[in-house]
Amino acid sequence: MTQGLLIVLSGPSGSGKSTAMAELLRRHPEYYFSVSVTTRDPRPNEQDGVSYWFITKDRFDEMVRQGELLEHAEYVSACYGTPAAPIDEAMARGCCALLDIEVQGAGQVAAHRKDAVLIFMLPPSYDELSRRLNGRGDTAPEKVRARLQRALEEIQHAPEYDYIVVSETVEGVADELEAIITAEQCKAARRAHLVKEDFSHALPTNV
């Protein structure tokens, strides 16, 4: 079995990453979505263990100390991190592992995992991003401002990624993500084992 693919998706909060990921997972239930740990409060529609594991700062610090996180970062006064063990297990099973993380964390993954594929999702426009963040209705105005400020900073890092996708429609962005994953799976370096197979039995014997 070949090693799985490690896909890192970044983009400002409100760019549509979670919706795009949900569509990709609907199309490919065999993919593994990495559930992060976070110290922020759950939003009304969020369930523990589905979008995040909601944990205390003490538990977060302990996970960092124990080396349980593949990467971690602070984002608008909360801590976020990717548990390493489930990623390793998914990769060993040959799964495509999907991480939805911000730019500092993506940089840490890229530094440790040279095989990681880094994708940045741009919102269609700044106005649309602002509209989406304000429209959530569950984020205080000062947090919306902080997230918009952070969005502008994050977008500056987009050119450092392997790919950029733009979230005009959910289906369109999921199509682009699928295309990237397919191309990465077809890379010669990942398929070299196919060439080593012995095809000599297929040669005609009467020539």
Q: How far is the CB of 178 from ligand 5GP (least distance, A)?
A: 20
User: Restricting to residues 28-57, which ones interact with ligand 5GP according to CB under 6 A?
Assistant: 36, 40
- Does residue 60 bind ligand 5GP (CB under 6 A)? no
| β-sheet with 36-38: strand ranges across | 52-54, 36-38, 78-83, 69-75
- Separation between Cα atoms, residue 43 and residue 116, nearest integer Å: 30
In sequence order, what DSSP letters do the residues of 80-93 get, joined into one string? EEEEHHHHHHHHHT
Q: Is 115 helix (H, G, I), strand (E, B) or coil?
A: coil
Among 4, 5, 6, 13, interactor with ligand 5GP by CB under 6 A: 13
Among 101, 118, 119, 181, interactor with ligand 5GP by CB under 6 A: 101
Give φ, ψ of 115 to 5 degrees. Answer: -85, -5
- Does residue 165 bind ligand 5GP (CB under 6 A)? no
- Does residue 184 bind ligand 5GP (CB under 6 A)? no
User: Restricting to residues 103-132, which ones interact with ligand 5GP according to CB under 6 A?
Assistant: 104-105
Residue 109's nearest CA partner among 75, 63, 70, 68 is 70
Enumerate binding residues for ligand 5GP (CB under 6 A). 13, 17, 36, 40, 71, 73, 75, 80-82, 100-102, 104-105
